[in-house]
Structure 1
Amino acid sequence: MLIRNATLPDGHQRDVRVRGESIVEVGRDLDASDQHVIEATGKRLFPGMIDAHVHFRQPGYPHKETWETGSRSAAAGGVTTVVDQPNTDPPTVDGEAFDQKAEFAADSVVDWGINGGVTADWIPNVLLRRRLFALGEVFLADSTGDMGIEADLFADALEAAADTDVPVTVHAEDADYFNDDAKARDDADAWSAFRTAKAEAEAVERACTVAKEHDATIHIAHTSTPEGVDIASEAGMTTEVTPHHLLLSRRDLSELGTFGRMNPPLRREKRRQKLYERVVDGTVDMIATDHAPHTREEKDASIWDAPSGVPGVETVLPLLLAEARDPDSGLTYERVRDLTARNPADVFDIPQKGAIEAGKDADLVLVDTIETSEISGAALHSKCDWTPFEGHDAVFPEWTMVRGTVVYERGDALADDATPQEDVFYDHQGENVRGADSERLE
């Protein structure tokens, strides 16, 4: 296959040749004879996003999401690799639980990794022998799944991970700095008032100190404050920021209500702006979604009873591309590439992914950045049919490729009086697994 005249994130126009699962050549005016040619003039080609933080809920909670529905949502948003977190049921804290989750992950239409968790009854000598992506999300405070751990166990986990050269991802919040006075409130902002910004900063500081003591490197998940980012960066650790912490703040909670509850919570607008600046200037290493779907019925509760988490795997790259279209945002297409592909591949040592270069996996996403559409929860492919980004502008992919196989094609938009063609998904063997009959793109 030859993808011709595509504009890469750096603005250069190139041809990209794919053979089998790999990119074999990138250049100008490449020979197109005996090749299937995809004309990409005027469109941009990105490396597929690596989302290092998702909760696909299976096993245990398939009514919220499954590997099949979550991965289709990922593919439709240009995410070609996902990493699932351990707080499922059973939690991924031993070899048997890992193997069970891996069986469910076989339904995924995108590439995947599985993180192992740490609890009081975890079995490190078995779990760490599995093909873990990382150890974590290691919870320093309770969140969904009640997997918060004590300081001594955290130190033991870091030591075990360092001995086996497994990276560690940390959910950094210190419950000692939660504001119990906020529990007297029942408004949507009470959750943000309860789980304070100081709770995150103190936990990041402590986690980085313990990591240095054990000669370990940690990655701070869903960093929601500029203070947390700065502490981790100065300590030589890496950070991720979610799209909701990047683009939403406490001022959005009056509209979102309990659908805006997540851990860590949304912060004040000034903090959000400073966090955005650190994303733009390179201090933040990557964007990851913390895709954590719940049903509408579950979220439609009091602020103290609603579960924490929002979906995001399908909307993250489209939102970032819409931001990059705006010259005033400071966010460039190259920076989007680094945040979503190159840096996650470097941080988690996935050398075959993250770039459009010869020898890399052919994980590719074609987009028309001239074309924007409004996000609608009802139109997304997750089992969760809502989004905190309802009505936001986005740039959705035309198609998504995983290791040389097109796994998603967006349905053609037809006239207003016609029925639009349904989106089409494929598995890695090229079988049409959902959608209207259509000729396979490649």
Structure 2
Amino acid sequence: MLIRTATLPDGSQRDVRVDGESIAEVARDLDAGNERVVDASGKRLFPGAIDVHVHFRQPGYPHKETWVTGSRAAAAGGVTTVVDQPNTDPPTVDGAAFDRKREFAADSLVDWGINGGVTADWDPDSLLSRRLFALGEVFLADSTGDMGIDTELFADAVDAATDAGVPVTVHAEDATRFNEDARARDDADAWSAYRTAEAEAAAVERACEIAADRNARIHIAHTSTPEGIDIASDAGMTTEVTPHHLLLSRKDLDELGTLGRMNPPLRRESRRRKVYDRVVDGTVDVIATDHAPHTRAEKDASIWESPSGVPGVETMLPLLLAEARDPETALSYERVRDLTATNPAAVFDVPQKGVIEPGADADLVLVDTTETTAISGDTLRTDCGWTPFEGFEGIFPEWTMVRGTVVYDGDSDEPFAAHDGQNVRDADGELL
């Protein structure tokens, strides 16, 4: 394929030639050969997004999401690589559990990675011998799956992963800082009042201290507070922010109800704005979704009984592109590229991904930024059938390509092509 006159995220116009699974050339006025030519005039071409934080729920909870439905949602949203977290059933805490999850991941339409988890019963020798994307998210407080661990075991896990050359990601909340008085409430805001901002900041600080003592680097998942972001950044660690912590706050909970319950929870509007500022100015390294689907029936419970988590893998890039299109925001298309593709590839050492350069994997997303679509849970591909971003505007892909194959074509009656995603850790990781 030759993609003609595409506007890249930096605003420059280039032709992009795809040969097999890779990008062959990026230049002006390339001569067309015996290939399909796509006119991309007036449209933008992005490297495929790398969502380093999803929960596709297999094995154990296929009624919430499967690798088939989750990867289709990813492709329809411009995500070409997903990284699944360990809190499934069984949890991915040993080699056998990794091998079982890998069998489900073989159904993925997009490329993928699998993270390993840490519990009191984990088997680091067998787990770390597998082709893990990372160790984590390591839970410092219980969330879905009840995998919270103490700091002593966390320190041991950091040692083991560092020795094995495996990155570590952290779910940082300190349960001793939760506000037990909030337990007397039953309104939608009670969950945010309970799992406090101070609990996140304290856990981020402790995790960074442990990593620094070992000359190790960790990645703080779904940071929801400016305090947590600053602590990690000052310690030389990397951070991610979710679209829901970027665009939603406690003021939205009256409308969202229990659909707005997640861990860590939504924060005050003043904190959300400061998180947004840190996303724009480069302090935050990565945007990832923490895509954690539950059915509507499961979420239709009290604030204390509803499961935590929201879907997001299909709406991340469309929401960010709509933000970048809005002249009222300071978010640029280049920053969207960095947050969703280039930086995740760099942070987690996946050099064949995240860039539009010769030799890189041909993971590409074509969008028309002049057209926005109202987001509706009824039309999304995720099995749970709802979104916390109902009614938000998004810019969705015209098509999404994974290693040279157009896996999603929004204009087709049959939008999804047959394609076998692969473990990105199985690739040699070297650009041509």
Q: Please give the TM-score of this superposition, normalised by the length of structure 1.
A: 0.94
| Equivalent position SS for 2:165 | coil
Give the distance between the partners of 1:51 and 1:240, measured in 2 at CA. Answer: 10
Structure 1 partner of 2:356: 356
CA contact (8 A) 2:107 2:420 kept: no
Give the distance between the partners of 2:265 and 2:413, measured in 1 at CA. Answer: 36
Q: How does 1:311-326 map to 2 (within 5 A)?
A: 311-326=311-326
Give the distance between the partners of 2:131 and 2:291, measured in 1 at CA. Answer: 22
Any stretches of 5+ residues in structure 1 without a counterpart?
412-420, 431-442
Structure 2 partner of 1:425: 416
Structure 1 partner of 2:305: 305
CA contact (8 A) 1:58 1:67 kept: yes
CA contact (8 A) 2:106 2:420 kept: no
Matched, 1:158 2:167: no
Give the distance between the partners of 1:275 and 1:179, measured in 2 at CA. Answer: 22
Structure 1 partner of 2:217: 217
Structure 1 partner of 2:34: 34
Give the distance between the partners of 1:239 and 1:329, measured in 2 at CA. Answer: 21
Structure 2 partner of 1:245: 245
| Alignment RMSD (CA, Å) | 0.9
Q: CA deviation at 1:427?
A: 2.4
Structure 2 partner of 1:60: 60
Structure 1 partner of 2:3: 3
Give the distance between the partners of 1:187 and 1:287, measured in 2 at CA. Answer: 29
Identity of aligned residues (%): 78
Residue identity opposite 2:53 in structure 1:
H
Q: How does 1:251-330 map to 2 (within 5 A)?
A: 251-330=251-330
Q: CA deviation at 1:213?
A: 1.1
| Equivalent position SS for 1:424 | coil
| Equivalent position SS for 1:328 | coil
Runs of 4+ in 1 over 6 A off after TM superposition: none
| Equivalent position SS for 1:401 | strand
Structure with more relative contact order (C-alpha pairs < 8 Å, separation 6 or more): 2
Q: CA deviation at 1:19?
A: 0.3
Render the CA deviation track for 1:128-159: whole Å, top value 9, x for unaligned.
Answer: 00000000000000000000001110010000
Q: CA deviation at 1:429?
A: 6.2
Summarize the Cα distance change of 1:18–1:226 in structure 2 as closer, same or farther, 3 Å threshold: same
Q: How does 1:5-404 map to 2 (within 5 A)?
A: 5-404=5-404
Q: CA deviation at 1:215?
A: 1.6
Q: CA deviation at 1:324?
A: 0.2
Residue identity opposite 1:261 in structure 2:
R
Render the CA deviation track for 1:224-262: whole Å, top value 9, x for unaligned.
Answer: 000000000000000000000000000000000000000
Any stretches of 5+ residues in structure 2 without a counterpart?
422-432
CA contact (8 A) 2:110 2:420 kept: no
Structure 1 partner of 2:429: none
Give the distance between the partners of 1:250 and 1:401, measured in 2 at CA. Answer: 37
Give the distance between the partners of 2:33 and 2:245, measured in 1 at CA. Answer: 48
Give the distance between the partners of 2:143 and 2:413, measured in 1 at CA. Answer: 37
CA contact (8 A) 1:162 1:215 kept: no
| Equivalent position SS for 2:398 | strand
CA contact (8 A) 2:192 2:250 kept: yes
Render the CA deviation track for 1:147-173: whole Å, top value 9, x for unaligned.
Answer: 000111001000001111110000000
Residue identity opposite 1:235 in structure 2:
A
28-37 vs 218-227, which deviates more?
Answer: 28-37
Q: CA deviation at 1:422?
A: 3.5
Q: Please give the TM-score of this superposition, normalised by the length of structure 2.
A: 0.97
| Equivalent position SS for 1:306 | coil
Q: CA deviation at 1:428?
A: 2.0
Give the distance between the partners of 2:414 and 2:312, measured in 1 at CA. Answer: 19
